[in-house]
Amino acid sequence: MKGQAISSALLRAIGQWLACFPATLALASYAEFDRTWAWMAAVLVAALFGTGLSAAKSVKPWLFYLLLLLLLTAAVAGAIGALGVHGALPALYGGAVAWFGWRRFPPLAIPFTGIATNGVCLIAAIWDADLEPYRTLFIVSGAAWFVLAAYIGHAGLLDSAGLHDGIVTRLVLRSSRRYLTILVGVVLIVYLLTSDFHLWRTIARWVRELMPKGSSSPPEPSVMPEPAPALPPMLGEPSPRPEWAKWLDYAFYALAAAAILALLWLLVRRLSKDREWLQELAAKARRLLARLLRRRDPPPSPAYVDEKESMLDIGKTIRRAQTRWLRRSENKPIRRAEWERLGAAEKVRRLYRDAVLQAIEAGYKPKPSATPNETLDSVERWYESRSKERDAALAGWLRQTRALLGDLYGGARYGSAEASAAELERLAAEYPW
């Protein structure tokens, strides 16, 4: 039992050290350590310290926190004395690693920590030029930690679904494997598409070469654009790509090829053993092609109801025309003799009404919410936009007397004032009777 506890603590320490490896690299770049391997070894020692005290059941929590506080104080003081203020953060980081190793978290805690640290460092590589060569490492490591987390979660689901001495039903096992395979495949595809491997740049260049080019005529000379502004100092210059990163690319290509071959082998094995599944897949493909290539039916011919509705619309139009014909005498402009027999207020109202009605019959569309003065203004502008000879007389009269007619009509409508004989004579003198 003692040897098993020691081996378990050792495995947890190594797993925790690997999960925090991207953050350890980032802190090494921040503190500008001369020997990065010594810093990596120090973090591993901190993880072993935490997991070792966790395996020793005789160590009480208060004793662990006391030892951690003393060691952390000494480490921070020594780091500040040797490296300056920048050395405090790596020392605190070592204390956090030791505390993480001492606590007993669920089995998924270490894989999730690896996924989180790789994702954060992958984003930080955009802004820190020193982390740029490790982009491939962060991508591959994050994908590996995700696969491990999915495997641990899958094993936990199988344990929770165990029946009678760990026997798991076949349906539960099959469905969990299917969902796990789909999830792992989706995440790997996302990691691949968001990475910066040489293969994707080669494919993009090949696709651009296949695309049709423009016309053969020489392009028109254009003004040279201004040079792009320099990058902010925080971005820095990208570091040269190390040799081990290229070999890591090749290893990842080999891993992807092995995964594709394994998938093809599983498909061939499934097809060779289950002909019914192959027939069902072929039937679905045929139905999909038939649906895509199906000819659409012509639109239906109009029914008798549509003809009946169209006849009703024609009848409605005829009734409107009949109403306008019967009321043509009411809308006919008044003559001078008839106008002279009206009262002062009625004379103003009749001239306003005739001016607006003649414009409406000619095609003007009034606004119900407009005031009398706004209506006269819009009628005048409408006449000016038409510029026809038959409307010239009424347009000229309205242009000269529009303000006077609006004021007099307001007084006649609301009874505030009555038009004088001189004002009525001015309106009648220029009106085209």
Tens digits of per-residue pLDDT, 2-58?
Answer: 666 667 777 777 888 788 888 887 777 666 666 667 777 777 777 777 776 665 665
Give the pLDDT band (50/70/90) at residue 306. Answer: very low
Please spell the DSSP secondary structure of 255-315, one letter per residue: HHHHHHHHHHHHHHHHHHH-HHHHHHHHHHHHHHHHHHSPPPPPPPPP-HHHHHHHHHHHH
Give the pLDDT band (50/70/90) at residue 322. Answer: low
Which one, of 370, 346, 359, 425, lies nearest residue 398 by Cα? 359
Q: Return the amino acid letter for 290.
A: A
pLDDT at 89 over 50: yes
- Residue 167's pLDDT is 61
- Residue 88's pLDDT is 62
The answer, as to whether pTM is greater than 0.85, is: no
- Looking up tokens 């296949």, which residue turns up? 210
Sign (positive or negative) of CA dihedral 266, 182, 185, 144: negative
Which one, of 34, 236, 218, lies nearest residue 128 by Cα? 236
d(CA 109, CA 112): 5
Which ranges of 20-35 would DSSP assign to H, the alpha helix?
21-31
* 3-state DSSP of 300-366: CCCCHHHHHHHHHHHHHHHHHHHHHHHCCCCCCCCCHHHHHCCCHHHHHHHHHHHHHHHHHHCCCCC
d(CA 121, CA 133): 12
d(CA 311, CA 308): 5
d(CA 17, CA 11): 10
- Residue 16's pLDDT is 80
d(CA 128, CA 22): 13
- Residue 304's pLDDT is 40
| Mean per-residue pLDDT over the chain, rounded | 70
Q: Return the amino acid letter for 333.
A: P
Q: Minimum mean pLDDT among 121-130, 158-167, 355-364, 398-407: which range?
A: 158-167
d(CA 413, CA 344): 12
Helix (H, G, I), strand (E, B) or coil at 163: strand
CB of 407 closer than 8 Å to CB of 418: no
Which one, of 361, 362, 381, lies nearest residue 370 by Cα? 381
Residue 372 per-residue DSSP state: H
CB of 130 closer than 8 Å to CB of 234: no
Average pLDDT over residues 271-277: 68
Average pLDDT over residues 257-278: 72
- Looking up tokens 């242009």, which residue turns up? 399
Q: Which two tokens stand for residue 270?
A: 């499934």
Distance, first Cα to last Cα, the chain: 121
Please enumerate in sequence order all residues whose Cβ is within 8 A of that of 80, keeping only pairs 6 or more positions apart, or say none: 87, 88
Q: Which two tokens stand for residue 274?
A: 């289950």
Burial, 109: exposed, middle or buried (Cβ in 10 Å; 0-12, 13-18, 19+)?
middle
pLDDT digits (tens, 9 = 90+) for 233-248: 444 444 555 666 667 6
- Residue 415's pLDDT is 73
For residue 275, which phi and psi values (nearest 5 degrees)? Answer: -70, -30
Other residues' Cβ atoms within 10 Å of the Cβ of residue 289: 10
Helix (H, G, I), strand (E, B) or coil at 167: strand
Q: Which two tokens stand for residue 48?
A: 């072993």
Kindly tell me the number of DSSP H helices and DSSP E strands found in the chain. Answer: 17, 0
For residue 163, which phi and psi values (nearest 5 degrees)? Answer: -130, 120
- Residue 72's pLDDT is 60
pLDDT at 125 over 70: yes
Q: Return the amino acid letter for 374.
A: E
